[in-house]
Amino acid sequence: MTRKENGPYSMPMLMPEYPPPPYRLGPLEGSNFLCTLPSQVLASLVPEPLETNADGVLWIYFVHIGAAKPLLLPYREVGLFVPVTYDGKQGLFSLAMFLDESLPITIGREVWGFPKRFADSISLEREGDRCSSKLVHDGSTLLDATFRVAENKTQQPSEQLTRVYTHRVIPSWQSDKPSINQIVALNWTSTNEMRQAASEAKLRVAFPADSQLSVLNEMCCIKSWYSKTEACTLAGGEVVRDFLSSS
């Protein structure tokens, strides 16, 4: 028996936890909220060299992901993203994410640098034109939202590419610095997304006072919609800032 020269893609070596990308997610269905805060508040949460939007806009979603190829693992996810610009290119910075399954958390952190945490529970319910969504973490309700879905539907472009930025940090056994500390730009493609406008949106935000995200508790919802997406593909990217090599 001989050892493979390059070894497996992921840990553990003899029973790799997950395969290499690309990953195709879908179908996806859930609620979306566009919110505003003072732009300087968002700027305090987003790392350089990314530039936050002048309007102080933040996007929050609650989504049920039917499957995730090649893992075929359905789960629910809540994401908070900030529109940003880097080197003249617009994109979204991943501020915080919560999931109800552990394996996508591991993959999201290790491969892509997504700031994923395990949620106590994520609820996403729709009865007729009424939709309710809730995120519970560490025994506290962080996000609680409702709205009424309109009948009109809007089809988005069949293939829509979004540049997604993450702050990818991989720990080290050394206590003074991590093994990896980078800003990464990823390629996120949505396929056949349909949106329904919503009204009467109510969003309650209650991050703990000792959390850096507590500054989001005063944000105001300005727009909401319900979405259904056939699939999303996450494949490839580039490092736009390596803090360890530039230090």
Q: Which residues are catalytic?
A: 116
Q: What distance in Å separates the CA atoms of residue 33 and residue 30, rounded to the nearest whole number?
A: 10
State the Rg of the chain over Cα: 19
- Which residue do the tokens 């609820």 mark? 123
Nearest alpha carbon to residue 239 among 169, 187, 183? 183
Nearest alpha carbon to residue 99 among 80, 82, 116? 116
Are 104 and 116 a contacting pair, CB within 8 Å? Answer: yes
Exposure on the CB side of residue 196, measured as CA atoms within 13 A: 19
The values of phi and psi at residue 10, to 5°, are -130, 170
* Amino acid, res. 55: D
Q: What distance in Å separates the CA atoms of residue 170 and residue 44, rounded to the nearest whole number?
A: 22
Q: What distance in Å separates the CA atoms of residue 227 and residue 233, rounded to the nearest whole number?
A: 17
Three-state SS letters, 40-106: HHHHCCCCCCCEECCCCEEEEEEEEECCEECCCCCEEEEEEEEEEEECCEEEEEEEEEEECCHHHHH
